[in-house]
Copies of this chain bind each other. A is one copy, B any other.
Amino acid sequence: MAKSDTHMTMRVVNHIRTLIETGDLQPGDRIPPEREFARRLRISRASLRTGIGYLAAMGVMDVRHGVGTFVADGPPELGKSSLSLLGALHGFQSWQMFEARRILESELAALAAERGREQHISAMSEEIAEMYATVNDPIEYLIHDVRFHRVIAQASGNPILAALMETITSALYDERRKTAERSRDLKESADLHREIYRAIRSRNSREARAVMERHLTAAQSAQDLEISGGPPPPPENGQATKKARRKPVAV
């Protein structure tokens, strides 16, 4: 994969990676204190920290000040703000985010209909109930909304697609919460979610995909109206002209 000799960073990364692959390290496990670990690996604490920082940025490690460093637990997740950062860099458009989400979640819903288990079905049911119970509390509603979609992702049986979805939705979350307070028609939203749920429960993957797509398209429209008047869905693209500035930019 990469050189394991030079570059202390990669040495650390590969070492830990190996520990994970051999099962010596599992989610939730704590690694030794930095000072001790560094001594054992015959490298400086600074270099060790560089490697750990890399893994932490990837979402593989969870560093807690004053407590310890742990292998990430919970659902797989790429770097939390990675997409947000990349978006700032490459100027991602809002409609592109929504489109990506729409495509991913539609397929996720279809897979969930095929593979979802009882536990997932009932978990969805619970979230639906909570949504109906909080139609007048947009903030709370949003929480269950997010959970519902997350359960579908789990039910799909494909943690990779689930992780990708999580990456996108987390980049979208801040924006959603801002507009959530002014949300209305949560009843309609809940109804749509219920339709999705029913499609999944009845193992109708085509229907699940279709309703999910309808739901997310509607959500996008609502969001666009909240933000600015004109939602600009017209797509385009182009290859950025290469350039190679040699001097550091002013900061």
Contacts and interface: CB of A to CB of B under 8 A. Distances in A.
A76 interface: yes
Interface size class of A (residues with CB under 8 A): 35 or more
Copies, count: 2
A158 interface: yes
A100 B17 contact: no
Contacts of A57: 53-54, 57-58, 79
Interface in A23-38: 24-33, 37
A239 B90 contact: no
A99 B54 CA distance: 28
Nearest to A22: B88
B242 A73 contact: yes
B55 A53 contact: no
A247 to B, nearest CB: 7
A53 B7 CA distance: 13
A84 interface: yes
A242 B75 CA distance: 11
B235 A157 contact: yes
Given A2-B81, A24-B251, A53-B57, 5 more contacts: A17-B88, A83-B160, A90-B159, A97-B160, A115-B237
21 contacts: A1-B84, A17-B88, A27-B240, A30-B247, A30-B249, A49-B50, A57-B58, A58-B79, A78-B167, A83-B160, A83-B163, A92-B159, A92-B160, A96-B160, A100-B160, A103-B107, A115-B235, A117-B237, A119-B239, A158-B235, A159-B237
